């Protein structure tokens, strides 16, 4: 009898711990605050004429896991979709593609999944909340190609709690992957017309009016998407 009671007690402790540590999903409000606290780029993103987005890469130690490969593809597709709406002339390039001979006044964007724990739908089905939390760290490096200089390298974080993942049938785990891309696009929108440093060293600059128009149109798109989520 004592052993059975101990078994239930241990089970209760495990469940309580999961409820405390794994219920929350990073909210949109917290995400916006996260972006606002990040260091601004040295050059406003709207100052560049050409934008190149490299395929999202991942930490080699995490690349072999099948669930991570699926998560990486989801992040990559959503990030391209988001940034294409900000930069209609966006050009996608492969991870190993060389950039020699490109025109000046170009911006290279390189997303990199530094760390990820992604609970797949199958794992949620069999283990539910006991599978744990999902979380992802996405680092995005922005390089001014005219100077071969990194102007920003922010890291974005999102998570899906164990219980919210289980109650949603894994939907919150999957939406975590798109939310982290939304953060990167929000960071770009925030600094599309404002930055802390100098303009690119060469090349004709877009007008302030064009920058403002692009930012307003992109803001409208992001706001509409967030309102739909809420």
Q: Kindly report the number of other CB atoms within 10 A of residue 67's CB atom.
A: 18
Specify whether the CB–CB gap between 148 and 99 falls below 8 A. Answer: no
Q: Which pLDDT band holds residue 194 (cuts at 50, 70, 90)? A: confident
Identify which of 130, 119, 161 has the alpha carbon closest to the alpha carbon of residue 22: 161
Look at residue 194 and tell me if it is in a domain. Answer: yes
Considering its fold, how many domains does the chain have in total?
A: 1
CA dihedral angle for residue 158, residue 162, residue 166, residue 172, rounded to 10 degrees: -10
Summarised one tens digit per residue, pLDDT across range 82-94 is 999 999 999 999 9
On the 0-12 / 13-18 / 19+ scale of CB atoms within 10 A, 209 is exposed
The domain in which residue 34 lies consists of 24-229
Residue 14 domain-assigned (yes or no):
no
Spatial distance between the Cα atoms of 132 and 117, rounded to a whole number of angstroms? 9
CB 208 within 8 A of CB 192: no
Say if residues 110 and 3 touch (Cβ distance below 8 Å): no
CATH number reported for the structural domain that contains residue 62 in this entry = 3.40.50
Mean pLDDT to the nearest integer, 180-188: 96
Backbone angles phi, psi at 229, to 5 degrees: -70, -35
CB 54 within 8 A of CB 93: yes
Distance between CA atoms of residues 150 and 93, nearest Å: 18
In which residue are the tokens 């440093």 written?
197
| Burial class of residue 189, CB neighbours in 10 A (0-12, 13-18, 19+) | buried
Q: Is there a domain that residue 5 lies in?
A: no
**Mind listing the pLDDT tens digit for each residue in 61-113?**
999 888 899 999 999 999 999 999 999 999 999 988 887 656 678 999 999 99
Whether residue 219 lies inside any domain: the answer is yes
Residue 15 lies in a domain: no
Cα–chain center distance at 226: 15
Global pTM reads 0.71
Q: Could you tell me the pLDDT band of residue 118, with boundaries at 50, 70 and 90?
A: confident
Task: Please indicate, yes or no, if residue 19 is contained in any of the structural domains.
Answer: no
Tokens for 13?
Answer: 């402790």
Compute how many other C-beta atoms are within 10 angstroms of the C-beta atom of residue 95.
11
Structure tokens at 207: 């007008």
Please check whether residue 146 lies inside any domain of the structure. yes
CA–CA dist 114, 142 (Å, integer) = 16
pLDDT in tens, 212-225: 444 444 444 444 44
Return the exposure string of 160-182: e unless at least 16 CB atoms fall within 10 Å of the residue's CB, then b.
bbbbbbbeeebebbbbbbbbbbb
The strand pair at 50-54 and 91-93 is best described as: parallel
In a domain, residue 11? The reply is: no
């Amino acid at each position: 009898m004592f052993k059975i009671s101990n078994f239930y007690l241990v089970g209760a402790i495990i469940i309580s711990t999961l409820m405390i540590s794994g219920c929350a999903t990073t909210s949109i409000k917290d995400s916006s605050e996260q972006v606002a606290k990040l260091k601004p780029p040295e050059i406003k993103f709207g100052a560049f004429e050409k934008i190149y987005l490299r395929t999202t890469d991942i930490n080699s130690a995490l690349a072999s896991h099948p669930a991570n490969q699926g998560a990486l593809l989801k992040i990559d597709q959503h990030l391209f979709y988001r940034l294409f709406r900000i930069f209609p002339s966006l050009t996608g390039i492969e991870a190993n593609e060389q950039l020699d001979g490109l025109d000046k006044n170009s911006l290279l964007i390189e997303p990199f999944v530094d760390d990820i724990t992604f609970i797949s739908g199958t794992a949620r089905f069999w283990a539910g909340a006991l599978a744990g939390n999902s979380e992802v760290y996405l680092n995005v490096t922005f390089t001014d190609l005219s100077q071969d200089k990194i102007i920003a390298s922010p890291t974005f974080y999102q998570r899906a709690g164990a219980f919210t993942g289980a109650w949603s049938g894994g939907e919150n785990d999957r939406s975590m992957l798109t939310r982290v891309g939304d953060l990167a696009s929000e960071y770009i929108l925030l600094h599309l017309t404002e930055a802390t440093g100098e303009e690119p060293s060469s090349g004709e600059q877009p007008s302030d009016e064009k920058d403002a128009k692009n930012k307003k149109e992109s803001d409208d798109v992001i706001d509409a998407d967030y309102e739909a989520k809420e």
